[in-house]
Amino acid sequence: MQNIEYDGHIIPYTLYKSKIKNMYIYIKEGKVLVKVPSRVNENKVQDFLNKKSEWIYKNLEKSKEKIRKEKEERIEQKDIERLQKIVEENIYKYSKILGKSPKKVRIRDLKYAWGSCSSNKNISINLKLALKDERAIEYVVLHEMCHLIHMNHSKSFWDLVEKNMPKYKEYKKLLA
Ligand SMILES: [Zn+2]
């Protein structure tokens, strides 16, 4: 594996020699492939890549970003079912402990929060939690359930969260 340098970034690439006349650069799935004529001078290849380094770097970043997005969006039915089960179990568990239960619980594609609790006592849970650790999901459920008692983030609210989940700060980090 060889490297291309651009603006302090080291970009590895794979070189293929082939019976072709021109040099080609392919960026696929976050990787750089360079195809060159079999008898090409290695210095010529390096010059060609140096000239194209900015283009390579930018397109590689785009390609990596695409992979990241696809991963995020790849929530499958089985992940949703798992989330539903964890949410239900914890709503049940904390309803008994806190002596309060929500009117409705919905799993939705929320844009800006992991969960929400309305003044009508409806709880919404973010669908994106489907790919998160079980403890992180439990934390979000508990957090929203505690809002059934304290509709704010006061000290009493956080005390209630901590009392029921002493390690909540650790679990919260799993959401990042
Ligand atoms: Zn809150």
> Could you report the per-residue pLDDT of 26-57, keeping only the tens digit for each?
999 899 999 999 999 888 999 999 999 999 99
Task: Give the model's confidence band at 1: pLDDT under 50 very low, under 70 low, under 90 confident, else very high.
Answer: low
What's the CA-to-centroid distance between 100 and ligand 1, angstroms?
A: 16
Tell how far the Cα of 114 is from the centroid of ligand 1, in angstroms. 9
* 89 Cα–ligand 1 center, Å: 20
| Cα 17 to ligand 1 centroid, rounded to whole Å | 58
Q: Report the separation in Å between the CA atom of 158 and the middle of ligand 1, taken as the mean of its atom positions.
A: 9
Structure tokens at 70: 């696809």
Selection from 96, 95, 122 nearest residue 110 by Cα:
122
CATH architecture of 77-173: 2-Layer Sandwich (3.30)
Q: What separation in Å is there between the alpha carbon of 154 and the centre of ligand 1?
A: 10
Identify the sign of the CA torsion 20, 25, 63, 1: positive
Give the residue extent of every domain in the chain.
2-73, 77-173
pLDDT per position as a tens digit, 78-110: 999 999 999 999 999 999 999 999 999 999 999
